[in-house]
Structures are given as structure tokens and as C-alpha cells.
Chain A
Amino acid sequence: MARRIGVFVCHCGVNIAGVVDVERVAEELRKYPGVAFATTYQYMCSDPGQNLIRQKIEEENLDAVIIAACSPAMHEETFRSVCKEFFNPYRCEMANIREQCSWVHDKKEATEKAIKLVKATVEKLRGNEDLMPIFVPIEKKCLVIGGGIAGIQAALDIADAGYKVILVEKEASIGGRMAQLSETFPTLDCSQCILTPKMVAVARHPNIKLMAYSEVIDISGYVGNFDVKILKKPRYVDEDACTVCGDCEKACPVIIPNEFDMEKKPRKAIYIPFPQAVPSTYTIDREACLGLAPLTCAQCKDACEANAINYDMQPKIVEERVGAIIVATGYDLYDKNKLVEYGYGEDDDIITSLEFERMLSASGPTGGEIIKPSTGKVPKKVVFIQCAGSRDKQHMPYCSSICCMYTAKHALLYKHHVPDGEAYIFYIDIRATGKNYEEFIARVMEEERINYIRGKVAKIYREGDKIVVWGVDTLTGKKVEIKADLVVLAMAIVGRKETKEIAKLLKVAVDDGNFLKESHPKLKPVEALSRGIYFAGCAQSPKDIPAAVAQASAAASKVLAIFSKDKLEKDPLVAVVDEDRCSGCGVCVSICPYGAMQRQPNGKAKCIEALCEGCGTCAAACPSNNIEMRNYKDEQIEKMIEVIV
């Protein structure tokens, strides 16, 4: 137990000293039992400030230190490293007299409170135990879930740094949503042209194990040591043997809609989602194929000269141990059937933004031609409706972030295809905050003569071969009626439903939009609450390609930071179960947000220290009060409360 405590009160310029009488705080503390020395200084965190601590520890023979300054979130690390030179770092505590005191109280109250806070910290410190950090070994291999642009970027970054990556993709090919896009805003690059080199790089990278057409089905363990089970779904085609000659596809008699083309283009039961698919191989759609069982058709097998088709292929479960996980499961469009007010699904000439995107693509259902689906003719008047399902309390309250930009792009591309056509865009606000985005919008508005109408659409209905759109132009206050050939809905973006399943496996929270919840919205935007789990791309929130790529690289750098060490050092402020008195009621096991509390064979709970983040949820919930947090023991907290109250 600390017997000679030194108290260092920081002025923090005027941040603290402008409100708190710091000299009085030091004076009062000098009289307090256990305190051997107390002083104040301008900026404790400065080099001279740190040296003052060093000097006084030696001169005054201190065996513990309290810094009364800002939040421990700011400088605990700083001061503990100083103290580590002399004694156990857990003999150093901070009393927050800035955020919780000088910033929120007036002078008189603040000084009194500061004195109490520091005295309470003395009481806590006296109950502290000397602790040693916990070390956890690391499996330097990363699992990336989702093979869209975010997952691809993260995988490449980590693999380029020399570490192994397992990239798992649910679909037959990686590429994700970006592969479906025609051109990208604001530069109008061909989406596939800039994406496919990265896809190929993934396929060829010696450090990347690509597992497409696979799903993660189980995750256990903790940072450095996650045990993962991956289900490899049978393609019924040998990936290595397939030469992608296409003979099988020609032979296949089954025709169904292609999901990749938003089901607006046919494909066969044996298919390759798009020509540049990676891995480059055909896949048999189990649901559609006639030949699997009973064996009624074997036309593809007969046609295949490479002998790559194997109807007896079985699902396989692959087990891997990884040290870190990046979730990049991407997005879906908001359920279009919920947008009844816009008549989606009732009319062929009302389509979603992604359907329009495929229509614009040279490899899409129309070969890049813009048509009115009901007639096949070129639409002369197109209405684009932004915020379809976004910024709407009836649907999704948030902004989907990218719709303003891609709608402008859509309108522009439409005008390029149909120069004599008219395009209208209904919008609430234009949000163009990216680099060169505002200029792009201006260009679309001015050069392309697109009609931007500020207002929401009230009603859409069919009249003959036209779709009538009713809205209000809120800038002029006039009612607008447009008889359009085609209506394109800029659908809200939501996290994939699979994200929720993955999140459950990872014990990570998702919000109402199925987006993963980050650890801190500002300071830890790519981290999950549990260490070793990171987010990239639209799985975390709606974002455009540059943001998704940047976040992927950020997540990769977080993983590399972990892999740069041989062992993980972990704060030992973990929960400790009094096993003799544990009844095995299961409350802590049920609620631990990190899965750190586990039931042992004898029924009693045990804290896996490597997993525990020290949040204290279990200690608060234990109905027998048999769980204590190291250095936040009940006696310590009770004494602190006593001093304060």
C-alpha cells in the first residue's frame, strides 16, 4: 500500500487554474493522511512537468503519485510511463479536475470539488494493487469478411505488408457493389476498369488466400487468437480446372435472372456473374440446376472439355486461426417493397438506382442503352427522386450520403446518351462534401441543363404510357406535375442483413440501419468495441468509394499495428471472479459484451483476461457481488464515495 503519496496539481494554463484555486488544493492535500508531498505546476504534461515528478519522487522518496489534471483518457499513459521508471505504474493515478470540475463549475464550487476529487483519488490509490500487464500471443493472420472494394483494399494493404490474409466472399466473385457500377463520380472513370486490376491483384497475391463463394459461420476467441470456421459452398466446378471457355453455359438449358444485373438480365444455371469475375470460374447455381439430383440433365458436364464439373462436390468447413478481423460486408438497398408511396414494383418504368446503374453499364442487360423497360424505347423524360427511403422518419432517418452524387452522375450520363431528353431531379438538399463534388454538381446543373427541383414527391401514378410524378417545388411554392417515361429512385442504403449475422458472431452491435457500431464515433471510427475487430466500407455507414478505400486502409493499418508486435500487451484492469462464492447463475456470462465471462464445466464463471476490457458490466450485475474489478474494488469505491459525500 502506498505510504508516501505525492500530489501534483496541474494549472493547465488557465484551464484549471483560472477557476480552481490550485494552491489551496495542494495545501489541503498536504494535510491529508498518506500524502507526503503536494505541489502545483503550470503544465504537468510538459517535459519540465514530467521532470518535476521524477525529481520529487527521488527527493521526497515518494512511493505513489497522483496527478490532478485532465481526464486520464488524455494523459494517464504519459504519467504512468514516468512513474514506471521508479515503481509499478498502477501506483500512479489521475484525478480529473478539468473536464469534471473546472470546465463545469464556478470558482468556489470548483475548488471544493477539486479537493474532494483528489482526496478520493488518494483513497483509491491506497487500495490499488501493483499489477503487471497481461501478455497475449498473436496469430499474425487477418480475416477479411467481404470482397467488395473495402475488403479488397484492406486485404491488399495487409498482404503487401507481408502478412497472411484470408479474404472471404459470400458471392461467386469478389468485386462487390463497385463491380456493378458503370462510371464513378465525379471523375466518370469506368468503375470496372479501375476495380478489376485490384481484383486480379488479390487473385495473384501470394499472401492472400481467397475464399469466394464461402461464408463465415463461427467465430470465437479474442484479439490475437480468433478461431474462425468458414463454410466453403460447393461450386460443383473445379476452380483450378475451369478454363472459362463458356461451353457449359451454352449447353445449359436453364435460364434465370442474374442477381448481378439486379435480375434484369438472364443467366444460366451454370454461370459466371460477370466476365471479369475473380476467381475466374463458372459456378453451378444449386437451386436452379437440374443436374444435381436427381440426375436429369448433365449437358454442362458433357460439354466441358476440361472435365471441371463435379456434381458430387460437398460443402466444406475450413477452420482458421487469425489474429485480427476486418468486417467489410458492404450494403444493400433499402427494401424497395417498403416504398409503396413511390409505386416500386407495381410499375416496370419505376426502377432503382442500381438497376439504372446496370442499364448504363456496357455489360449490363441493355448493353449500355437507356430504355423505358415497358416499351424498350428511349425515354425522353426521366425523373430522378433522391432520398427514396433516406432522411425519412417513415423509413430510414439518416442520409445515405452518396445519392446526391450518383443521381447527378445518372442525370449527366442520361443526357450524354439522350441529348434531346429531359431530366428532372427531386431533392431535399444537395450534399456534395467530397473533393471536387460541388464542382461536379455545378457542372451537371449548369452545363447539362438538368432540372433540379427542391421538394419531395407526393404521388406517382401511371397515365397511359406515362408515369405522372406530382411534387412541390418548395423554392417557388408551386405544384409540379411531370409526365415521365422513366422514374429512377435513389434508394436508401442499409447494412446487409448478413452484417447482422456476422455482428452476432463477433458480439458487435449494429444499429437500426444494420450498420456496425464503432467503438467511438470520432476517435475510433474503424474499431469495434472488442479489440482486434475493425470495420471498413459501407458495413459501418453509407460512404462513397474514396471513403471506403480510406477506411479500409485505416483498418489495415490498425491490424498491422497489432501484427507489428510479437505479443499483445493488455491493461490488467480486468474482472476477477470469487470462484468459491460463485453460484453459476449465468448473469455475467449472459451480459458480457466481450464474451470474456465464460462458464466452466463446474458451472462457475471465469474471466478470460485476454478478452476482458474491464468495463465492469459484470461486476455491477453480479447478484452476489462476487465479481470485482482490479483496482476498482468495492472498498476502494466505497471509500471514494465516503470522501466525496
Chain B
Amino acid sequence: MPQRIDALELLFVTGKGGTGKTTVAAATARYLAAKGLKVLLCEVDAKGELALAFDVTDPGFEPKEVAPGISLMSMDTESSLREYLRLYLKVPFVGSLGPLAKAFDFVATAAPGVKEILTVGKLCYEVRLHRYDVVVVDAPATGHIIGQLAAPQAINELVKVGLIRSQTEWMLDILSDPLRTGVMVVTTPEEMPVTETIELTASITAATTVALSAVVVNRVLPGRFSVREEEVFERLGAPSSVASLSARLGADLTEVFEGASLAVGLRKSRSQHLSRLREHIDSAVPLVLLPNLFEDHPPSATTQLLATSLELELEQ
């Protein structure tokens, strides 16, 4: 069994674009904070979506408390480099980085993995500092996450000596420890997201040293009709039946059945994709189902609702 989510020290939340990865990351932070844990929530690909979930704007590199028990920070590789240089090289940089910023731009462009290592490095550094009980990362989407998680290994292969080399060793220790670090993959019960999730979970295992903690299925519709119910639905939805039902109700149900058939079809196809996902994911890994929210809530309310669902699913 993978380590429980609430016992991890570093949790990466990833998934295909459009599945609600950021929302789930925010909900997870809320869930953990509600359990009394001190959470550092970190946005890696800053788009401000995570901040919206806490009704704040423009989070910086310095963590700021945005809700009880939750501090939010936005990853900025230049600030991360600055912090690193100050801590390890004792280079006292005051104020503007000047030419160093340009040098950084260059190094980051030229040397693959430098940006990734500064991101992962900062996250591992926070784990080591232990100012928080857990670091939750709104990590890059499917295409980029492997590069990021595998960065310390890649650097180890490329760089034979130097400070970075020695630094990657302790990062790997944290990342490779399944008791401390895990990845949560977010998906929706639709064809492409399910297919990508199956592929992603396989490559997390194959290409990185990080353990898979959970697969979260977002936007799950209420239960599908049984075969018998579906037959009843077909018969009741026939034009003559709709006409007589409408007459008895005193309201035209033609459009209602038309609209509902979309919902019935969606429930059916989504539950099929969900079964396919279940078949392909290691049964030891928890499959967490979050409901589809039909109402258009503000982001902070949405994440609170989903945090409650997460708790129900994980504590059952």
C-alpha cells in the first residue's frame, strides 16, 4: 500500500490539462489543513489559478498564509537560484541580480534541467527545513511532470562534479522515499484523460523514483442507469409516451427528454471510462472519486466542497 496522503511530506499533484489539477491541489491543501497539518502549497507554472482558489492575487516566492494552516507560494526559479547561491555559496547578493540574472537566463536555456532542478531543489529544501508538515505542489501538467521529477537523476548523469552534483544526492533521497514523497494524478472519466493517466502512471513508475500515491477522478457523474432502467428510459422517452406523460403532467416534456438523453449517455460513457481506469491502475493505489459540481461556485467555494469530498473518500 502506498503511504497515506496525510502522512506524506511532499506531494506532487499533476494530470492532463483541463482535468481540474489546480482545483484538486487546492482542495487537497484544504483537506490536509483541516486535519491540523501545516501546509505549504506551491504553484509551479504560475497562472494565478491557485491564488484564485484562496481569493488572493499575485502570490510571491515568499510563502504567505492564505487560509488557516495554508501558506501559498509561487515558484520562481530566479528567486530559487538567488536563495541557493546565498545559502550554499555564501555569495552575498544585495538588490538587483544584474548580470547574474542574464547569466541565469543563459544557463537555464543552455543547460537542460537547471530550471527543473531549481524547482525540485527548492521543494526538497522546504521539506528538509520542516517549517511545514507537508508541501503540496501544483505541479506541471502531464507533458512536463516527468522531466521535473526526473531532473535530479538527469543532472546526476550530466554533471559529474560540482556543487549541483552533490546537491542532487539529498534531493534524490527525499524524492525516492515512498514514505515521504508521492505523486497524485488527477483525471476525469473521459477517453483521452483516462488514456493519458494510464500512460502517465506507467511512466512515473518507469522513469522516476517517485511513488504514486493516488489517482483522483474529478467530475464523476451520479451513478449510471442499470440495464433495466435504461430500457425503461428508452420506452418512456418514445414520442407517444412523452406525449401522454406531458398531458398528465400538464407540461411539455419533449425537450426535457431530449436534454436528459445527453446526461444518460454521458453517465454511461463516463462510467465505462472509469472502469477502464480501474482495470489499469494498481489496485493498491487509492482511486479517489470527486463529484461533478453542476453549480458554478466561486473557486474558493469549489475547493472547499471538494476538500470535503476528498475527506469522505480518503477516510472511509
Partners in one complex: no
| A interface residue numbers (CB < 8 A to B) | none
